[in-house]
Structures are given as C-alpha cells and as structure tokens.
Chains A and B, each alone.
Chain A
Amino acid sequence: MSRRNGAIGAAVEDYLGYLRGKPSLEEVEVRLVDLVENYGFGHFAYTVVRPPRTREVIGFLKQYKEGAIARTNYSHDWIEHYDEQDYLFVDPILKTAWLTCCPFRWDQLDEGENLSRQEKEMLGDARAAGMKSGITIPLHGPEQGLAALSLTSDMSSEALDACWHECRVDLFTVAAYTHEKILESATRPSEGADVHLSSRELECLKWTAEGKTTWEVSKILNLSQDTTRFYLREATRKFGVHSKHHAVVKAIAAGLIAP
C-alpha cells in the first residue's frame, strides 16, 4: 500500500470518495468486497447488534434469526450452521464487540482460558468452514447502537500477523464510513421518534426531567405558570400520552432529551 506521510492508504481514500458520490448500498457492497479482498479478506459480515435507539432498520440488511440483522457474503452453509447451532447466543465475537472500541483478531480471543467450551466450539467450526483468520471491527454508536464489521480470510495466522499492523487502521476507517453510510440509507426514524417539539416545549420537558415542578420551571424560564402548563400539555399531547412524566420518558426514548 502506498502511503502519504502516514495517511490512510490511497485505496481507502478512493473508497471514501466513492461513498461521497451517493452510490446505492448494493454498489457500495461491491466496492467494499473488492477493497477488502485487496487486504486479503474474501468475506465480510456487517452485523447490527443493536440499532441506534431511535431508528429502525429497513431494506438492504437482512433479518436472519430473531435479533440477527446483517448483510454478509458468508457461505450459505455457514449461515445455516450458525442458525442451527444458535450461535448468535454464543458468539464470542459479538460479545467482545460490546467490550471494546478497537479492531480485534479472532485468534486473540482463543488465547488463554477466556472462552467457554461452546465459544471455542463456535470458533473451531468457523475455522473448519474456511474462515482460518478473522478480524472484527466494533462500531459503537450513534445513539447507543452497536454494529460489527467482520472480515474473514483463509490466510494463516502468520500471514495475518504480517498484514494486521498495516491494515487495521485502513480497515477501521473503511468500517466507520461504511457504517455511517448504511445507517443513513438503511434505517429510518422509528415510530414515535418523529415527534416535533417547539424549543419552549422541549425546554419545559428538560427541566421536568430534572425533577422540577411546573411552578419551578416557570420561574427558571421566566414564564407564567399557565404558559408553562400549556407547553407541558402540548408536549404531552404530541406524544399521545396523559402525563408530563410519561412525555419525559417518551422524549428520552426518542433521543430528544439526554437520559
């Protein structure tokens, strides 16, 4: 890979430029497969472990089993085996993705006595299915969401050693921008997350969330008590609920107020 003063690889720069041109996700997938192949990875799996709090997944991504939302070019046999074995509930890769922000290698997970018998079994099965080497890039956020981009290869552990140091920064960048693109195009605001509050309504709700009474909110915002009451009732009505405290819960769930 050619480098300009430690910057990311030229192929990655090209890929980011391509993303800016508003390609479809299907087109992005083709480019992504091409790109990671250059780094020695033949297969990928982009898994949404938890969507952003106020968004839901549409199209492109496929719902595999309960809770598993992914886009992948893993072999059909492996996907079926993964499903049959209920590996979603065992998978040490997804578990690790919750615990770290940095890319990690699957062979590092298997070192020492960290894994349960089932977890070791799953990684063993993956190796047997041709995924000799694998890496995963956890993608945390926004809005408490978690996705993971896994790349697999039939290269040996030693071969991975050689490329790991060079490639992980590039692939981390690729993963982050791809993640952003997918969130943008393959998710939409979930029901109830598209309530629009005026800035006054939002202010009144925010102070209510802090445990302030209507009277206190009116003093803080220098409004009359009746006006404050009006804003709170409007916000409550917009969420289709019957108490301002329920409206606060809705507003937090919709990401309008920080929890």
Chain B
Amino acid sequence: MIRIITADQYETCRPLLRQMFRLRYRVFKERLGWDVETVGDEERDQFDRLDPTYILVLNEDDDVTACWRLLPTTGPNMLRDVFSHLLVDRPVPDAPGTWECSRFAVDCESDGDNCLANLNRVTSELFCGLISHCLRQDVDEVVTVYDIRIGRILPRVGCTPRWRTKPQRIGNFSALAGLFDINNDVLATVMENAGFSSLIEHDPYHLEPLTGLPSLGGPIHTGVPTHAH
C-alpha cells in the first residue's frame, strides 16, 4: 500500500515517520555503511527539516517497507547542495515542475530469499506512489541521485531516465544523477511491468489531528483505502 505523507500530516504520522527514519538507519548506516547523520536509531539529516514529502510503501501489517523523500528543486536539495559535481556541465535543475527524490530505501531483509523479487515489486510501488503524487501536484520531472545498483533495476521497473550523468565514486559506492519524465504513460508502463491492476493508496485526509480541540462528537470517519485508478 502506498502512503504519501506531506508536512501537514507529520503530527498524526509520527509512528510511521519514526519507522521510516529507523528503516533508513538500518539501510544507510548499518547495511551500506554511509556516513550519515543519526539521532539514536534514526537516520535524519538537514533535508528532513525542510518539510519534505515522503512516499512510503506499507506491508500488510501497515509497517514501512520502503521510502523515498521528495523536495522541490527550487529550494535546497541533495543534488543541488551535495552532489552537484555529478552534473559536470549540466545546469542544476531548478524549476517548480521538477522535484528531487532522495533517500530511496527498501527493507528487504525481512523477506529473506524473496529479497530481489520484493525489491522489484516495492520499487515499482514506490515509483507508482511517486508518479501519481507528482501528477496530482503538476510535477512533470523528477531528478534523483542513485546508486548504479538501483540503476540496474530501473529498466525492469519501466523507468528510464531522459538523461543521466556518468557514474562517479562517492565513498563506497558509485552514483549518478538522472532525470525522469512524469506522465500518465510512465505510470501505465510501471504498473503494467509490475502487474498492478490498481493502486491502493491510503487516504490520509481521514485522519484527525493529534492535539487541539476535543472532538465535537461528529461522525467517525474511516480510513477506507481508496483506489487511485
């Protein structure tokens, strides 16, 4: 299930966000051994303080199995402020219709042998969540810095970059920057490749605020999953 968390929902989604930060700790700090900022058992950096949107994939237990972080390119973002050298001569993306994705992480340890199949499926779901969210926000391009290993699964997912840079060594991995077109055709291709007939997206607007005025005794809204298509 896809779950989009925008900054206005951080309050009600703290448990999910904590799961996500802990997932990122396990992936980036423990598994990949990156030099990342941590707070206890959570991995968080300065870009998480800029009210990014998070795209999450939840499993049947409503636990976070994959995440992605989305920031507009018109403000601070990782490609512009940390990895701009990857772009060499290309201009740094900076447009309202172009957003930047970072901190792609998938928790595939818990699925043992099915790790790769799971990785493909969850990646597809994450892309679908990203694309459908971007379409709603009139975003038609996404840039991201990614590991060449992730680059290998992208064709299978159905996402090929319009352009990509040469990979460069960053610490203990090779990374490149790529720009992806976002449109209905891409969404259809990703869904088809993954064998998805519909997307299950949790509708967050049925959640109530954690604090504030007490309930006025209105009807209880239910968070029935809605089908985006």
Residues of A within 8 A of B (CB): 50-56, 144, 190-193, 208-215, 229, 232, 239-246, 248-250, 252-253, 259
Q: Shortest distance in angstroms between B2's beta carbon and chain A's nearest beta carbon? A: 13
Instruction: Kindly state whether residue B61 has any CB partner on chain A within 8 Å.
Output: yes
Please state if A213 and B214 are interface contacts (CB–CB under 8 Å). Answer: no
Interface residues of chain B: helix, strand, loop or mixed (majority): loop
A213 to B20 CA separation, bound complex (whole angstroms): 10
Residues of chain A contacted by B213 (CB below 8 angstroms): 50
Q: Which residues of A contact B222 (CB under 8 A)?
A: 240-242
Known: A56-B217, A241-B220. 4 other contacts (CB 8 A): A240-B222, A242-B225, A243-B62, A249-B207
Distance between Cα atoms of A61 and B54 in the complex (Å):
45
- Nearest first, the 6 A-B pairs at minimum CB distance are A211-B18, A213-B63, A214-B61, A191-B217, A211-B19, A242-B223
Nearest Cβ on chain A to B213's Cβ, whole angstroms: 7
Determine the chain B residues whose CB is within 8 A of the CB of A211 once the complex forms: 14-19, 21-22
Inter-subunit contact B63/A243 (CB<8 Å)? no
A-B contact pairs, 18 of them (CB 8 A): A50-B214, A53-B214, A54-B214, A190-B214, A192-B220, A211-B15, A211-B16, A211-B21, A212-B19, A214-B61, A240-B222, A241-B223, A242-B224, A243-B62, A244-B61, A249-B210, A250-B208, A252-B210
Q: Is the CB of A253 within 8 A of B15?
A: no
Q: Are A192 and B15 in contact (CB under 8 A)?
A: no
B103 touches A (CB below 8 Å): no
Q: Is the CB of B215 closer than 8 A to any CB of chain A?
A: yes
Are A213 and B211 CB-contacts (below 8 A) given A192-B220, A244-B62? no
Nearest-CB residue, chain B, relative to A191? B217
Per the bound structure, the CA–CA distance linking A56 and B14 in Å amounts to: 27
Complex CA distance for A232 and B15, rounded to whole angstroms: 14
Q: Which one of B16, B211, B215 contacts A259 once the chains associate, using CB atoms below 8 Å? A: B211
CA distance A84 to B47 in the complex (A): 49
Contacts of B223 on A, CB cut-off 8 Å? 241-243, 246
Residue of B nearest to A248 (CB): B15
Chain B nearest Cβ from A226, distance in angstroms: 11
For the complex, what is the distance from the CA of A215 to the CA of B22, rounded to whole Å?
A: 14
Inter-chain contacts of B63 with A (CB < 8 A): 213-215
Q: Tell me the residues in window 1-36 of chain B with beta carbons closer than 8 Å to chain A beta carbons.
A: 12-19, 21-22
Q: B residues bordering A, Cβ < 8 Å?
A: 12-19, 21-22, 61-64, 110, 202, 206-208, 210-211, 213-215, 217, 220, 222-225
Among B15, B18, B213, which residue has the most Cβ atoms of chain A within 10 A? Answer: B15
- B16 / chain A contacts, CB cutoff of 8 Å: 211, 245
- Determine whether the beta carbon of A213 is less than 8 Å from that of B19: yes
From A51, A52, A208, give the contact of B15 (CB < 8 A). Answer: A208
How far apart are A213's CB and chain B's nearest CB, in angstroms? 4
Q: Using Cβ atoms and an 8 Å threshold, which residues of chain A touch B215?
A: 56, 190-193, 253
Q: What is the CA–CA distance of A53 and B208 in the complex, to the nearest angstrom?
A: 14
Give the CA-CA distance A45 to B217 in the complex, in Å: 26
Residues of A within 8 A of B21 (CB): 211
CA distance A41 to B221 in the complex (A): 47
- Alpha-carbon distance between A53 and B214 when the two chains are bound, in angstroms: 5
- Inside 8 A of B15's CB, which chain A residues have their CB? 208-211, 245, 248
Residue of A nearest to B12 (CB): A249
**In the bound complex, do residue A55 and residue B14 qualify as a contact, i.e. CB atoms below 8 Å apart?**
no
* A193 partner residues in chain B, CB cutoff 8 A: 215
Interchain CB contact under 8 A, A245 and B214: no
Residues of B within 8 A of A54 (CB): 214
Distance, CA A192 to CA B208, complexed state (A): 13
Chain A residues, CB < 8 A from B18: 210-211
A143 CB → nearest B CB, Å: 9
* Residues of chain B lying within 8 A (CB to CB) of residue A249: 12, 207-208, 210
Q: Is the CB of B61 within 8 A of A229?
A: yes
**How long is the Cα–Cα vector from A245 to B215 in the complex, in angstroms?**
18
In this complex, what residue of A is CB-closest to B215? Answer: A190
A56 to chain B, nearest CB (A): 7
CB-based contact A51/B224 at 8 Å: no
Q: Which residue of A lies closest to B218 (CB)?
A: A191
Contact A52-B214, Cβ < 8 Å, known A209-B15, A211-B15: yes
B62 with A253: CB separation less than 8 A: no
Q: A88: shortest Cβ distance to chain B, in Å?
A: 15
Residues of B contacting A229 in the complex (Cβ-Cβ under 8 angstroms):
61
